[in-house]
Amino acid sequence: MRVLDFFIESINSNCHFASYPCRSLADFKAGKCNTCGTGCANMGYDSNNGHPHHGTYYLSTNGNRPFCKP
């Protein structure tokens, strides 16, 4: 149910929950995917901004409010 908290925060916050394109979770956790490369995607209310993204994207969140990491 945390997804509801994320979505509400994406509406009420200036933070955009930026996610990064990455081949795997292991690569993301190893810090290999910390730039936008082919383009970052936002999660939540600003998820599309009129530009569809395809592929696998990862992001980190905080364990408590605020969840979004700028």
64 within some domain? no
Identify whether 43 is part of a domain: yes
Read off the pLDDT of each residue in 26-48 and give the average, rounded to a whole number: 88
Q: How confident is the model at residue 22 (pLDDT cuts 50, 70, 90)?
A: very high
DSSP 23-65: S-HHHHHTT---S-TT--EE-STTS-TT----S-EE--B-SSS
Grade residue 32 by pLDDT with cuts at 50, 70 and 90: very high
Checking if the pLDDT of 53 tops 80, the result is no
Please state whether the peptide bond connecting residue 52 to the residue before it is cis, i.e. omega within 30 degrees of 0: no
Domain that holds residue 45: 2-58
Residue 7 CB burial class (10 angstroms; 0-12, 13-18, ≥19)? middle
pLDDT computed for residue 49 by the predictor: 63
- The total of structural domains in the chain comes to 1
Find the DSSP H helices in 1-70. 2-12, 25-29
